[in-house]
Amino acid sequence: MTFKTLDSALLAGKRALVRVDFNVPMANGVVTDDTRLRAALPTIAKLRAGGAKVILLAHFDRPKGKRVPSMSLAPVVAPLAALIGAPVAFAEDCVGDTADAAVASMKGGDVLLLQNLRFHAGEEANDPAFAEALGRNGDLYVNDAFSAAHRAHASTEGLAHILPAYAGEAMRRELDALDAALGRPSKPVLGVVGGSKVSTKLDLLHNLILKLDVLAIGGGMANTFLFAQGWAVGASYCEPDLADTARGVMAFALKHKCELLLPIDVVVAERAAPGQAAFTRDLGEVDADERILDAGPRTVARLAAAMDGARTLIWNGPLGVFEIPPFDAATTAAARHAAALVKSGRLIAVAGGGDTVSALHHAGVANDFTFVSTAGGAFLEWMEGIPLPGVLALQVA
User: How far apart are the C-alpha atoms of 183 and 175, rounded to whole Å?
Assistant: 10
DSSP 19-66: E------EETTEES--HHHHHTHHHHHHHHHTT-EEEEE---S--TTS
Q: Does 292 bind ligand ADP (CB under 6 A)?
A: yes
Q: How far is the CB of 343 from ligand ADP (least distance, A)?
A: 23
Q: Does 267 bind ligand ADP (CB under 6 A)?
A: no
Cα–Cα separations (whole angstroms), residue 216 to 60, 307, 387? 36, 10, 25
Residue nearest to Mg ion (CB): 355
- Among 124, 355, 368, 381, indicate the residue that binds ligand ADP (CB under 6 A): 355
Q: Does 348 bind ligand ADP (CB under 6 A)?
A: no
Q: Does 317 bind ligand ADP (CB under 6 A)?
A: yes
Binding mask 323-362 for Mg ion (x = CB under 5 A): -------------------------------xx-------
Given the rule CB under 6 A, which of 6-14, 67-75, 251-259, 312-320 is the region that contacts ligand ADP? Answer: 312-320
Catalytic residue among 19, 36, 46, 118: 36
Q: How far is the CB of 161 from Mg ion (least distance, A)?
A: 33
Helices marked H in 183-328: 202-211, 219-228, 243-255, 297-308
Q: Does 234 bind ligand ADP (CB under 6 A)?
A: no
Amino acid making up residue 75? P
- Among 220, 234, 263, 296, indicate the residue that binds ligand ADP (CB under 6 A): 220
Catalytic residue among 14, 197, 281, 298: 197
| Residues contacting 385, CB < 8 A, separation 6+ | 203, 207, 210
Classify residue 7 as exposed, middle or buried by CB count within 10 Å of its CB (0-12, 13-18, 19+).
exposed
Q: Does 219 bind ligand ADP (CB under 6 A)?
A: yes
Q: How far is the CB of 382 from ligand ADP (least distance, A)?
A: 13
Q: How far is the CB of 237 from Mg ion (least distance, A)?
A: 14
Nearer to Mg ion, 196 or 245 (CB): 196
User: How far apart are the C-alpha atoms of 273 and 86, rounded to whole Å?
Assistant: 48
Question: Active-site residues: which are they?
Answer: 36, 197, 354, 377
